[in-house]
Amino acid sequence: MLFEKVLYPFDGKKASLEVKPYVLKLKEAGCKEVHLLYVLVPSEWGILAKEEYDCIEKIEALKAAIEEGFVDALLRMFKKMEEVASEFEKEGVKTKVVMIPGELDEVISEYAKKNDVKLVALGITSESLSFFRVGKVLDIIKALDRPILIVKSPEEEG
Amino acid sequence: MPLFKKVLYSTDFSPLAEVALEYVKKLKEAGEEEVVVVHVVDDLSVELPEGTDLIKEKEVYKILPEVDQEYLLDLVERLNSIKELLEKENLKVKTYLKYGNIPKQIVSVADEEKVNLIVMGAHGKGLLTELLLGSVSTDVIREAKCPVLIVKRREE
Ligand SMILES: Nc1ncnc2c1ncn2[C@@H]1O[C@H](COP(=O)(O)OP(=O)(O)OP(=O)(O)O)[C@@H](O)[C@H]1O
Ligand SMILES: [Mg+2]
């Protein structure tokens, strides 16, 4: 099945939201499972213990290691991702929400392999502030060994 | 939203472009109705104007040497067999054989035809088989205004 399991890297910005309707539509072509992944890049979040942060408890446990403000920001992101995930669940698509520390290309390609993802759906803006810029996206595509759907959003971030 | 309604399939007739064709067929289930199949040539022995349409502009064949004419007719045939294949899947199909800069022509047909998505391989006939991303795909990702599906094959 070509689209059975989709990895949807998500950073909450407009560009990554533009992909959502495409992934939802792929349900009709056999998509049964969507994984929302937020990569905790060191330049933004510092070095965090390499773990799959996939529930509130694991994120809250970070309070021992990093500033509370950061943990709250992570919790907000996690909830936002769960909201998006619920839109898929409503359509009968299984979801998983996870945050993983590391560089974008490494984390995304490793995760895709490990979870036998069939397609990666990336939302990008050509030169905007979003973290999926074209240059970075080329690194991600090169690191991946499976198909990638690239959705460009025409407008800059507000 | 049309999303996958009209799809441009760009092919260099390489094995990976053939894998990409499977995705083009599959997208029918997600609302795809029409496919625009595109191949671009940049290697004729005579320079032609950028963007020459080698299916519609039959008169240019007269100025081409016989080897080029045969080469082009073979390409037209290959495009037609892909067309037949897709028509069997009940898709509406258009074909383009263009002359010029490869990524530039792919993007310009995508614009003119107002396609919703471009489907292509991550690499093609290039000699470096280990190439992670070919130059044509790289430029199309940079220049295209619409979404692009880049097909890669998993190393088994
Ligand atoms: N002449 C062409 N016409 C139409 N589509 C093409 C053409 N050449 C390449 N493509 C498309 O682009 C994809 C990637 O091919 P690309 O040419 O970028 O890689 P390559 O041949 O391995 O590398 P390079 O050409 O940079 O040496 C192909 O799978 C095909 O979908
Ligand atoms: Mg090539």
What are the contacts of A46-53 at 24+ separation with CB within 8 A? A47/A101, A48/A101, A49/A101, A50/A100, A50/A101, A50/A102, A51/A100, A51/A101, A52/A98, A52/A99, A52/A100, A53/A78, A53/A98, A53/A99, A53/A100
Pocket of ligand 1 (CB under 6 A): B 10-12, 14, 16-17, 20, 38-40, 102, 106, 120-121, 123-126, 131, 134-137
Q: Where are the alpha helices (DSSP H) in chain A?
A: 14-17, 20-25, 42-45, 56-60, 68-90, 104-114, 134-143
Whether A116 and chain B come into contact, CB under 8 Å, resolves to: no
Tell me whether 0.85 is exceeded by the ipTM: yes
Model pLDDT for residues B61-115, shown as the tens digit of each residue: 999 999 999 999 999 999 999 999 999 999 999 999 999 999 999 999 999 999 9
In 3D, which of A122, A126, A123, A132 has the Cα closest to residue A156? A126
Query: Angle A134-143/B135-143 helices, nearest 10 degrees?
Result: 140
Residue A41 lies in a domain: yes
Task: Answer yes or no: is pLDDT of A54 > 90.
Answer: yes
User: What 3-state class would DSSP assign to A86?
Assistant: helix
Of B23, B147, B155, the CB nearest to A147: B23
Give me ligand 1 centre to Cα B135, in Å.
Answer: 7
Taking CB atoms and an 8 Å cut-off, how many pairs form between chains A and B?
68
Whether B8 and chain A come into contact, CB under 8 Å, resolves to: no
> Looking at residues B111-120, what average pLDDT do you find?
98
Whether B19 and chain A come into contact, CB under 8 Å, resolves to: no
Q: How confident is the model at residue A15 (pLDDT cuts 50, 70, 90)?
A: confident
Q: How confident is the model at residue A68 (pLDDT cuts 50, 70, 90)?
A: very high
Residue A43 lies in a domain: yes
Residue A18, domain CATH:
3.40.50.620
For B145, phi and psi rounded to 5 degrees? -90, -25
Given an 8 Å threshold on Cβ–Cβ distance, is B141 in contact with A137? yes
In 3D, which of A85, A147, A151, A93 has the Cα closest to residue A120? A147
Q: In what order do the strands lie in the sheet with A119-124?
A: A94-101, A33-40, A5-9, A119-124, A148-152, B148-151, B117-121, B6-10, B34-41, B92-99
Task: Give the global pTM.
Answer: 0.95
Query: What is the number of structural domains in chain A?
Result: 1
Of A26, A142, A146, the CB nearest to B154: A146
Nearest chain B residue to A136 by CA: give it. Answer: B142
Report domain extents, chain B.
Answer: 18-151
Given an 8 Å threshold on Cβ–Cβ distance, is B26 in contact with A149? no
Nearest chain B residue to A154 by CA: give it. Answer: B145
Provide the β-strand partners of residue A119: A6
Q: Which domain holds residue A45?
A: 5-125+142-152
pLDDT, position A152: 87
**Chain A interface, best mutation among B29, B123, B146, B151, by max A CB count within 10 A:** B29
CATH 3.90.1150.10 fits B18-151, yes or no: no
Model pLDDT for residues B4-35, shown as the tens digit of each residue: 999 999 999 999 999 999 999 999 999 999 99
Given an 8 Å threshold on Cβ–Cβ distance, is A25 in contact with B30? yes
Give me ligand 2 centre to Cα B123, in Å.
Answer: 7
Residue closest by Cα to atom 4 of ligand 1: B39
Residue A19 lies in a domain: yes
Residue A83 lies in a domain: yes
CA A44 to chain centre: 15
| C-alpha gyration radius of chain B | 15
B139, B106 Cβ separation under 8 angstroms = no
Of B29, B132, B145, the CB nearest to A142: B132
Instruction: Enumerate residues with CB within 5 Å of ligand 2 (an ion).
Output: B 124, 126
pLDDT, position B1: 78
pLDDT, position A130: 47
Residue A26 lies in a domain: yes
pLDDT, position A136: 80
Task: Answer yes or no: is pLDDT of A158 > 50.
Answer: no
